[in-house]
C-alpha cells in the first residue's frame, strides 16, 4: 500500500492504521456487557439474567433457555467455585485422552515451527533474487501466492505469466530454465 511513498510515512502509515484498528477494538470492549458467568460469581444475579435474556431469550427473562442456563451456571459456580480461583492446569493432563490431546497440540506447534516456514519466509527475498525475481513488488506478492487459495492462485498465475514457455512460473521476470 505505502511502498511507493518515498518518506517516513511509508512505514508510519501502516503502523498508525494498525494502531487505529486496535484502538477501535479496545473502545468497543468498553460497550460490551460483562459475561453472565462473571456476574453470577460476583453476586450480580439480576444483571446476569438481564444479559442472558437480551442475548439468548429474545428479551424474555422467563425463557426456558435463559432459566436453564442461569441455573446451570449458578449451580456450577456454587459447587466448584470455578470462577473464584485461578484456572487449574491439571485438567489438561488428568486422563489418557487429555494427555493425547495435549500431545497432539504440542506436536503440531513444535513441527509447525520446525518445518522451516520461518526460515523460508525470512530468506525468501534472497531466494527470489537467486532465481531472477528483481522487482520488489513481485517479491512481496510471491510468498503469499500459495496461501491465497486455488481459484485465486490460478488467476494470479494467469496474470503473472505472459508467454506459453513460462506457463508454470508465477512471476513474469523469471529467467527461462532451459
| Tens digits of residue pLDDT in 22-63 | 999 999 999 988 999 989 988 899 999 999 999 989 899 999
Specify the pLDDT at position 143: 65
Region 129-153 average pLDDT = 68
Instruction: Say whether pLDDT at 144 is over 90.
Output: no
Q: Which of 24, 27, 74, 65 is nearest to 46 (CA)?
A: 74
Q: pLDDT (tens digit, 9 = 90+) per residue, 154-167? A: 565 665 554 444 44
In whole angstroms, what is the distance from residue 61 CA to residue 57 CA? 7
Helix or strand or coil: residue 139? Answer: helix
Lowest mean pLDDT among 42-51, 75-84, 124-133, 168-177: 168-177
Q: How confident is the model at residue 83 (pLDDT cuts 50, 70, 90)?
A: low
SS3 content of the chain, % helix, strand, coil (to 5): 65, 0, 35
> According to the model, what pLDDT value does residue 146 have?
54
φ/ψ bin of 153: left (φ > 0), alpha (ψ from -120 to 50), beta (otherwise):
alpha
Q: What is the pLDDT of residues 94-136, one digit of tens each?
A: 899 999 999 999 998 888 777 776 777 777 778 788 888 888 7
Question: How big is the CA angle at 133 (ends 127 and 139), to the nearest 5 degrees?
Answer: 75
What phi and psi values does residue 117 have, to the nearest 5 degrees? -60, -40
Q: Please indicate, yes or no, whether the overall pTM of this predicted structure exceeds 0.75.
A: no
CA dist., res. 22 & res. 39, Å (int): 26
Amino acid at each position: 500500500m505505502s511502498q511507493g511513498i518515498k518518506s517516513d510515512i511509508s512505514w508510519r502509515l501502516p503502523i498508525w492504521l494498525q494502531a487505529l484498528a486496535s484502538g477501535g477494538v479496545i473502545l468497543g470492549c468498553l460497550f460490551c456487557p460483562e459475561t453472565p458467568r462473571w456476574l453470577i460469581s460476583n453476586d450480580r444475579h439480576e444483571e446476569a439474567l438481564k444479559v442472558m435474556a437480551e442475548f439468548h431469550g429474545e428479551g424474555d427473562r422467563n425463557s426456558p433457555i435463559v432459566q436453564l442456563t442461569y441455573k446451570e451456571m449458578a449451580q456450577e459456580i456454587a459447587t466448584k467455585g470455578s470462577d473464584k480461583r485461578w484456572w487449574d492446569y491439571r485438567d489438561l493432563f488428568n486422563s489418557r485422552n487429555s494427555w493425547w490431546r495435549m500431545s497432539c497440540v504440542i506436536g503440531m506447534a513444535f513441527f509447525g515451527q520446525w518445518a522451516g516456514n520461518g526460515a523460508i519466509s525470512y530468506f525468501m527475498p534472497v531466494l527470489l533474487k537467486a532465481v531472477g525475481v528483481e522487482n520488489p513488488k513481485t517479491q512481496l506478492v510471491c510468498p503469499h501466492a500459495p496461501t491465497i487459495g486455488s481459484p485465486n492462485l490460478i488467476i494470479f498465475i494467469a496474470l503473472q505469466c505472459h508467454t506459453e514457455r513460462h506457463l508454470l512460473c508465477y512471476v513474469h521476470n523469471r529467467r527461462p530454465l532451459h
